[in-house]
Amino acid sequence: MSDYVAYYRVSTDRQGESGLGLEAQRETVSRYIEMMGGTLLDEFTEVESGAKRNRPELDTALSRCKRLRATLVIAKLDRLARNVHFISGLLESGVEFVACDNPNANKMMVQMLAVFAEHEREMISRRTKDALKAAKARGVRLGSFGKELGRRNMESANAFAKELAPVIQEIKSDGLQTAKDIAHALNERGIKGRMGGRWHAQSVINLLARL
């Protein structure tokens, strides 16, 4: 049996107040701890942007883990950060942690997932900047265009996830549950990512978050 300290993160004040996404994280963590026969000692919730490194609640959770010799548990790996340096700092803290969506991930795998996630974030940012630059050259007012572009990107990503939902369900029914195994199965079937690339564990994690 193990002792756990849970860490939850929501991206905006509005989500933090409404509990949007928070209850799902709690339920996931609760199921995992129950499956492991462990005990939840404490829990912390951060209302913060995933791109920022300053996380007072996470720092407190890590200190609590050290003091209680507990394991930090999170619902999804991307709840920590999509940043290589941040993940590396967490690993160097000496605190054991586990992500419910990828409980078998070792330190090397976690760092690789962070690399893929950061690369994806940078590519999205680059495409957005290029689109805004092109729109400005056409004389489009950037304020309204930026919001519209963001809305379209989100709708496109959600529609893509919905389209792949039956395939993901079929893969899971074959006994493949981890993000790494699902990514491998999608690549084996010749199914491309939304931007036409190969699947990696983190891109699967991002997709599942939309379902």
Torsion angle of C-alpha atoms 48, 49, 54, 60, degrees rounded to 10: 40
Question: Does residue 189 belong to any structural domain of this protein?
Answer: yes
Q: Check which CATH number belongs to the domain holding 58 and give it.
A: 3.40.50.1390
pLDDT greater than 80 at residue 196: no
CB 157 within 8 A of CB 210: yes
pTM (two decimals) = 0.53
Task: Tell me the residue type at 165.
Answer: A
Mean pLDDT of 110-119: 72
**46-50, 176-180, 187-191, 199-203, range with the lowest pLDDT:** 46-50
Alpha carbons 103 and 98: distance in angstroms, whole number: 5
**35-44, 81-90, 185-194, range with the lowest pLDDT:** 81-90
**Of 76, 100, 124, which residue is a domain's last?**
100
Question: Does residue 92 belong to any structural domain of this protein?
Answer: yes
**Of 100, 133, 156, which residue is a domain's last?**
100
**pLDDT for the residue 161:** 84
At 7-56, the pLDDT tens digits run: 998 765 444 444 447 888 899 999 999 999 999 999 999 886 555 567 78
Question: Does residue 105 belong to any structural domain of this protein?
Answer: no
Q: Is the same domain home to 11 and 94?
A: yes
Alpha carbons 79 and 92: distance in angstroms, whole number: 18
Of 50, 51, 57, nearest to 76 (Cα)?
50
**pLDDT for the residue 18:** 42
Of 128, 123, 106, nearest to 193 (Cα)?
123
Q: Is the same domain home to 96 and 9?
A: yes
CB 106 within 8 A of CB 141: no
**Of 100, 131, 153, which residue is a domain's last?**
100
**pLDDT for the residue 63:** 92
**pLDDT for the residue 17:** 43
CB 47 within 8 A of CB 12: yes
How is residue 210 annotated by DSSP? T
**pLDDT for the residue 69:** 94
Residues 6 or more apart whose Cβ sits within 8 Å of residue 192: 198
**pLDDT for the residue 80:** 62
Q: Whose structure tokens read 């756990």?
A: 4
Total tally of structural domains belonging to the chain: 2
- For 155, the domain range is 115-209
Mean pLDDT of 131-145: 65
Q: Is the same domain home to 95 and 8?
A: yes
pLDDT greater than 60 at residue 81: no
- pLDDT-derived band of residue 94, with 50, 70 and 90 as boundaries? confident
pLDDT greater than 90 at residue 76: no
Look at residue 59 and give its three-state secondary structure: helix
Question: Does residue 150 belong to any structural domain of this protein?
Answer: yes
Across the chain, mean pLDDT equals 79
pLDDT greater than 60 at residue 179: yes
Count of positions (residues) in the chain: 211
Exposed, middle or buried by CB within 10 Å (0-12, 13-18, 19+), for 81? Answer: buried
Alpha carbons 50 and 121: distance in angstroms, whole number: 11
